[in-house]
């Protein structure tokens, strides 16, 4: 996936209308080099096409992509190689690495959660807790790590939460209002306890979100719903407890940490010695 607008903004931010004073001072204008983007740590790759597009944006065309998004990578592996003007390579370096490391960090973190629930029907989903402007890219990285996406925007589906219920005067009122205004929109309702679950079940929502419930309560919720709708657990879930939630029988676990807390994967760029 490529976002050219973000690339242009990032490069402009780096130059601030000026030029790279270090490279201009130390490197001849006609200098040519070959450089490798290399993984320093193992993980799952995402953002390689963004890195390639950054290089192309500064005029570099001799680029060889060696690993694809979604692939597991090992420390020391070369991900892509570029040859061309040395100043251009160094101008693109940090922007390309920022995208590559950030998105690969998300894919790598997601893969850990997916592995934790392996063998169950439960799917790992992201949230809207994304970096402003980066949602499409970050949710793409989640998919590269084996996860699935929740709604991309507020217009995709309705998620009736406590504040909506309070504003509408009750959960039934909120549900009816959404169904009336947007008849075809999927509707998810958040509940905090089993009594609320029993209250909303007759409304036949497309999905019910079990907020901050323990795995034991999720087991009871699954039994109460008995397949009438899908269930999603969210809040208070750790990597260590993920399997317990998945084993409860819920269809999804929603994990904000996939995008808001993923550690950047260590990837570097090195000019080859002449």
Which residues are known to be catalytic?
A: 94, 129, 161, 190, 211
Give the pair of three-digit tokens for residue 123.
Answer: 């799917």
- Asked if residue 145 lies in contact with residue 255, where contact means CB atoms within 8 angstroms, the answer is no
Surface-to-core class of residue 267, CB atoms within 10 Å of its CB (0-12 exposed, 13-18 middle, 19+ buried):
buried
CA 188 to mean position of chain CA atoms: 21
**Which residues, listed in sequence order, are joined to residue 103 by a DSSP beta bridge?**
none
Burial profile 34-58: b = 16 or more Cβ within 10 angstroms, e = fewer? bbbbbbebebbbbbbbbbbbbbbbb
- Rounded to whole angstroms, the Cα distance separating 22 from 17 reads 15
Q: Interhelix angle for 86-116 vs 48-57, to 10°?
A: 170
């Amino acid at each position: 996936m490529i976002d050219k607008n973000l690339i242009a903004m990032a490069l402009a931010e780096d130059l601030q209308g000026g030029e790279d004073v270090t490279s201009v001072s130390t490197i001849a204008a006609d200098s040519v080099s070959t450089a490798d983007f290399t993984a320093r740590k193992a993980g799952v790759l995402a953002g390689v096409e963004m890195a390639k597009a950054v290089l192309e944006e500064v005029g570099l065309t001799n680029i060889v992509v060696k690993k694809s998004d979604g692939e597991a990578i090992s420390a020391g592996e070369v991900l892509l190689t570029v040859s061309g003007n040395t100043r251009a390579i160094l101008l693109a370096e940090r922007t390309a690495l920022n995208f590559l490391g950030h998105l690969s960090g998300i894919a790598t973190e997601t893969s850990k959660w997916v592995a934790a629930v392996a063998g169950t029907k439960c799917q790992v989903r992201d949230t809207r807790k994304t970096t402003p402007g980066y949602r499409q890219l970050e949710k793409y990285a989640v998919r590269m790590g084996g996860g699935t996406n929740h709604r991309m925007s507020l217009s995709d589906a309705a998620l009736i939460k406590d504040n909506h219920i309070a504003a509408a005067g009750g959960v039934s009122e909120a549900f009816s209002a959404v169904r009336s205004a947007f008849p075809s929109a999927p509707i998810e309702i958040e509940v905090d306890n089993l009594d609320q679950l029993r209250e909303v079940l007759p409304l036949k929502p497309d999905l019910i979100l079990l907020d901050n419930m323990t795995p034991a309560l999720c087991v009871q919720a699954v039994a109460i719903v008995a397949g009438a709708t899908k269930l999603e657990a969210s809040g208070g879930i750790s990597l260590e407890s993920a399997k317990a939630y998945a084993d409860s029988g819920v269809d999804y676990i929603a994990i904000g940490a996939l995008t808001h807390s993923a550690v950047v994967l260590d990837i570097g760029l090195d000019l080859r010695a002449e």
